Structure 1
Amino acid sequence: MDRRNFLASSLAASAAMVSAFQASADESKPGEALQPTEKPAMKPTLKPNPIAVSTYSFWQFQHEELRDVEKCISMAADWGFDGVEILHRQMTSEDPGYLQKLKRAAFTNGVALSGFSTHQGFLSPNPAIRQKNIDHTIHCIELAYALGIPTMRVNTGTWGTSKDFDDLMAKRGIEEPKPGFTDEDGFGWVKESLEKCLPTAEKCGVLLGLENHWGLGRTAEGVLRVVKEVNHPWLEVTSDTGNFLEDPYDRLALMAPRTILVQAKTYYGGGLWYTLDLDYKRIAKIFRDAGYKGFVSLEFEGKAPPMEAIPKSLALLREAFSV
């Protein structure tokens, strides 16, 4: 075929293809012929909440043979937990080498360091005491950052008008303010103190979770008041299932939409201070209905031996938070 005939044949074939494409487009709905083949929309797949364990569950401030955090991480992995929440007061060092050793232990055992549980108290009329606790909280945020932990439990603190924690528990967590002051004063101090901690939390990427942990956090309304008034994206809620001694389900439901970590108490052998008969399937539904997808962190607070009660608690939570 000579050059002239080849060009003529090619042009005729191209014209035929364009005509066929146009005819197909004309028979289709507007835009349909030009759209790529679309895959059917995928339905969201629900998955069970990952289950972690607080190192407090082992130590409980009394079992010195179970205090070693690295040992707790190893046992948690052996039993099948997905993560470990570290209790700050349980750590025996804050040296950089120690922190990195814990991070390495978690990684090599295939578990996440899912939370950092700290203590602070902002319910004091003394600005120096509040500043000391602010400084402590900022320091703990930086420790969490060094450990690669994404969330940290914070408290309002208590008024300190009880003799000790046993006395506070005997009064079911209800405590009078210091003489001459009111809870309204306290809410102002807590708000102001947390606002001073949050720039560091944001810089480090550590999400603070205000827990229902006595003081002004004894009620769901108190926790939510602080969180809403502070109104900062790096302050949310840590929900403890065992710190509401009355109407736990209604109160947990109030906090569930703002919750970024659930701490789940169990009491095998009877509680150290009190025992709650918690329906964990009901609790799981409360958080599932609120769209909670995060960690559920076991805090075993019973008198049974931790080496027996912790695996038993894991089975309970696995069943309840399965979907």
Structure 2
Amino acid sequence: MSDLRQSVMLFPFHKQLADGTLSPGDMLREFHEAGVTGLEPSVFRRSETPSWWGDLVSGAKDLGMEFACCVISCNLVGESEADRQAALDWVAQGVEISASLGCPTVLVAGSRPAPGMSNEEGRKVLAGALAKAAERAQGSGVTVTIEDFGVYPEFTCSSEHVLEVVQAAAHPNLKVTFDNGNFLFADDTPVQAFPRLKELIRHVHIKDFAPGEPGSGRRWVGTAIGSGQAMVRESLALVKGMEYKGWVSLEVSIAPPLPEAVQAAKVVRDLWAEV
């Protein structure tokens, strides 16, 4: 039986950390008391490192918390070879930062086709760039991943398209972050996606969605983890059943994020024990 290792994605906390309404120390203590032992931060360019970053890193060390995954935001497709090279250089820097934190995984997110480029061509370009990124990360102790990215549902959001990209890249240091919720934006489900991606899963995100209000223009809206239609229980059962040893990272979408993360940690822990 695999033990649950919970982490929290930190981007929902950036605003409060930046404006001082939440300190890194208080946030980390709440996480730790809730049984969360891992963190999934976004990495920042050295010139853009926020003032709270040092306290986050030192506070995590003091509590014995680990960095589960680091998110590197960039567009590896871009509009030119120069764009792609700049993005690859940033990914390499992000991998270096992650390695310095002892973080074993990065998630590269944010790629999209250039104007006038088809999704099919964009996926080919992305695969080529990811192969280069994975090769540059080889030997660093850091594995590169992509997820089912919900911002561009027709690009790399369905399990079919994610698999297409990873197979085309054909690099052993490129794997998948399995995000249970984002599949919904591509008319896919985590239960349908899991068998297709199972052998590639390196990292897991758990979130939840409910249908948007009619006329709102929003197909899915974030909701408390365990209360929506993103098949949280079913996803956890599948992940646990594969004897998964990695991190399950909570992605909360309700403000304020701290009490939601604490509650989500309990919900996921209880579900993990049940499935």
TM-score by length of structure 2 reads 0.80
The answer on whether the counterparts of 2:73 and 2:110 sit within 8 Å (CA) in structure 1 is: no
How many residues are aligned here?
257
Q: Partner residue of 2:163?
A: 224
The answer on whether the counterparts of 1:257 and 1:292 sit within 8 Å (CA) in structure 2 is: no
Q: Partner residue of 1:145?
A: 99
Residues 200 and 98 of structure 1, relative CA distance in 2, 3 Å threshold: farther
Match of 2:139 among 194, 199, 203: 203
> What is the alpha-carbon root mean square deviation over aligned residues?
3.2
Residues 100 and 200 of structure 1, relative CA distance in 2, 3 Å threshold: farther
1:157, distance to aligned residue in structure 2 (A): 0.8
The answer on whether the counterparts of 1:211 and 1:237 sit within 8 Å (CA) in structure 2 is: yes
1:255 aligns with 2:222: no
Seq. identity, %: 23
1:62, distance to aligned residue in structure 2 (A): 9.3
1:183, distance to aligned residue in structure 2 (A): 2.2
The answer on whether the counterparts of 1:266 and 1:298 sit within 8 Å (CA) in structure 2 is: no
Residue by residue, what CA displacement relative to the aligned partner does 1:212-236 show, whole Å, maximum 9, x if unpaired?
1144321111111111222222110
Larger radius of gyration: 1
The answer on whether the counterparts of 1:66 and 1:72 sit within 8 Å (CA) in structure 2 is: no
CA distance in 2, matches of 1:91, 1:252: 36
Residue by residue, what CA displacement relative to the aligned partner does 1:89-108 show, whole Å, maximum 9, x if unpaired?
5999549x987764442222
Structure 1, unaligned runs of 5 or more: 1-45, 160-176
1:251 partner amino acid: A
CA distance in 1, matches of 2:257, 2:247: 21
1:191 partner amino acid: A
The answer on whether the counterparts of 1:85 and 1:297 sit within 8 Å (CA) in structure 2 is: yes
1:58 aligns with 2:13: yes
The answer on whether the counterparts of 2:77 and 2:112 sit within 8 Å (CA) in structure 1 is: yes
Q: Partner residue of 1:8?
A: none
The farther-off stretch of 71-80 and 234-243 is 71-80
Q: Partner residue of 1:282?
A: 234
CA distance in 2, matches of 1:108, 1:140: 23
Match of 2:251 among 296, 299, 302: 299
CA distance in 2, matches of 1:64, 1:250: 41
Residues 109 and 234 of structure 1, relative CA distance in 2, 3 Å threshold: same
Match of 1:87 among 25, 28, 42: 42
Structure 2, unaligned runs of 5 or more: 223-227
Residues 90 and 197 of structure 1, relative CA distance in 2, 3 Å threshold: closer
Residues 280 and 201 of structure 1, relative CA distance in 2, 3 Å threshold: same
The farther-off stretch of 86-95 and 73-82 is 86-95
Match of 1:308 among 253, 259, 271: 259
TM-score by length of structure 1 reads 0.69
